[in-house]
Amino acid sequence: MKTKTASQPTTVQAKNISGAEAVIRCLLAEGVDLVYGYPGGAIMPIYDELYKFQDQLHHVLTRHEQGATHMAQGYARTSGKVGVAMATSGPGATNLVTGIADAQIDSTPMVCITGQVASHLLGSDAFQETDIIGISTSVTKWNYQITKVSEIPSILAKAFFIARSGRPGPVLIDITKDAQFDFFDFEYVPCTGIRSYQSDFPIAQDALSQAATLINAAKKPLIVWGQGVILGEAEAAFKTFVEKTGIPAAWTILGLSALETDHPLNMGMVGMHGNYAPNLLTNECDLLIAIGMRFDDRVTGSLDTYAKQAKIIHLEIDPAEVNKNVMVDVAVLGNCKDSLEQLLPHVQPLELTAWKARFHELNAIEEEKVIQKDLYPTKEGLTMGETLRVINEHSGGDAIIVTDVGQHQMVACRYAKFNQSKSNVTSGGLGTMGFALPAAIGAKMGAPKRQVIAIIGDGGYQMTIQELGTIFQQRLDVKIVVLNNEFLGMVRQWQQLFFDKRYASTEMINPDFIAIAKAYGIAAKCVDQREELSPAIATMLNTPGPYFLEVRVEKEDNVFPMIPSGASVSDIRLE
């Protein structure tokens, strides 16, 4: 699961410089050329130095600190680099916490730098003093408070090493104001290892041998892969493994795009709103091969009934995830790229004609009962599914799709087409509404040559709508599609199905989204008729610069299939 910076960190020295300047020199030594943040009193010395280095280090002024973390996440997810966010003390630091928690559960490499009151004021409830170390401990891979200027180089070197190594994650470094002002002789030495912290593991050959034996003997095997394939840069090895063995493969939402959507062995998504066949057949397979995924509850449903008939192989880099939720028969610990490459010579092509036919049989049922109705509706109003179908027709599967959280997220993950990896950017484990708009900004800056389309619900959009100001100031070519059903759609669906249609606090009275977009200098259009949809999407994609498209969709459409919360994957409902 290693990620890479633009260049290898380098050793740097400088005589008698301030701690604030040292921070900037550390970032440059790590190959950082882009930072997202919001200034304030306790981090002002660093921003003053940033001003002096602005020709080498581009700072993006966000409109809220939470937006800075989501932008750093989007940047990391599309570039493969470590995202960097900065904020001041107190509320500036606490506003980072949601994005940090999101990055932690979704294994996104990020370094957050916060300013802090002077060290002699710590613990005195000084103005804008908050114990951000205590607050963030449970949602960071590592955090540390710097109170002495001499600590800055070594701590920031460790921060980047920890953030990117092993299973990636967010690191927060809090720096007191006096440490920023003080002077010292600076030397930056890149971190290549930390005693007691093991980020890589040698592949156990006996585990590989056991795994190969199970694979070669399987009659009904199923692969479920997650984001570890992408983070480990294992896409090529994974595709070769799938094609050599001929095993049907399904993905978690963060694994989406590691294998092209239209690959004949790509059987779709597992989980609560996943595809019918891979969910049902999880409880029929004789071998489940989990690659770079963590058996999240949205994937497994009831653990009491999950794949009890199957032998289970788990390829995973984080030992804490092995046997945490699901007991496995063989665990192959290490980067899944290394594991797959070493496993490949030992596996054989399998004869799975009847087993694959079972997938196609169930796929046909879902196609008839769900997919055709979603993509080619006969009802008068527009649907989320057909909007994604038309986007696919115009993008050709080459766009990066950034989604928020809710019904539109599940629809986009189910129907968006992807031809290359690092194309699906979404909030997985934390389910953070408000993620998509700022994450799309970061995604575009991380992959500036690619088309970036944000698919957002009207609820989540309004949680970070202020980041339209960042798009306006940066003049970013981000396309924004709001699927407006005037509801908090996923909550409303649950209220309909499980709470007798008591729509408590889920109906939205929305503003004029078009007027708001235009106020930020963003071209905008609203459609609610089927004949308008394709021309509007074509115009959006062909218009230089940012574009906002509101699509008014059916208010009470539901997303199926669906596994009720806590139910077995075998209890998946098509309606």
CA-CA distance, 108 to 566, in Å (whole number)? 27
Q: At what angle do helices 336-343 and 235-245 cross, to 10 degrees?
A: 30
CA 61 remoteness from chain centre: 22
Q: Which of these is catalytic: 4, 44, 128, 210?
A: 128
Which stretch of DSSP H or E encloses residue 526? strand 523-527
C-alpha closest to that of 156 among 75, 82, 99: 82
Q: What tokens appear for 250 in the block?
A: 């399904």
Q: Identify any residues that bridge with 83 across adjacent strands, giving them in sequence order.
A: 110
Is 127 an active-site residue? yes
CA angle centred on 101, ends 99 and 106, rounded to 5°:
95
The vertex-460 CA angle with 455 and 466, nearest 5°, equals: 95
**Tokens 């595809």, residue?**
275
Cβ 83 vs Cβ 37: under 8 Å? no
Half-sphere exposure of 149 (CA within 13 A, CB side): 20
Catalytic option among 2, 141, 177, 417: 177
Q: Which among 120, 123, 103, 131 is positioned nearest to 36, based on CA atoms?
A: 103
Query: Strand 547-552 relative to strand 400-403: parallel, antiparallel, unpaired?
Result: unpaired
Tokens of 106: 């979704």
The active-site residue, picked from 71, 86, 445, 490, is 490
Strand partners, 333: 316
Give DSSP secondary structure letters for 73-93: HHHHHHHSS-EEEEE-STHHH
Considering the candidates 21, 30, 65, 316, report the single residue annotated as catalytic: 65
Q: Could you give the 3-state DSSP secondary structure of residue 430? A: coil
What is the rounded CA–CA span in Å between residue 14 and residue 26? 11
| Residue 490: active-site member | yes
What is the Cα–Cα distance from 310 to 235, expressed in whole angstroms? 25
The rounded Cα 138 to chain-centroid distance in angstroms is 19
- Per the annotation, the verdict on 219 as an active-site residue is no
Active site residue 554: no
If one counts every other C-beta atom within 10 angstroms of the C-beta of residue 469, the result is 17
DSSP letters for 449-464: TS-EEEEEEHHHHTTS
Of 127, 181, 183, 499, catalytic: 127
For residue 393, indicate whether it is catalytic. Answer: no
Active site residues per annotation: 65, 127-128, 177, 490
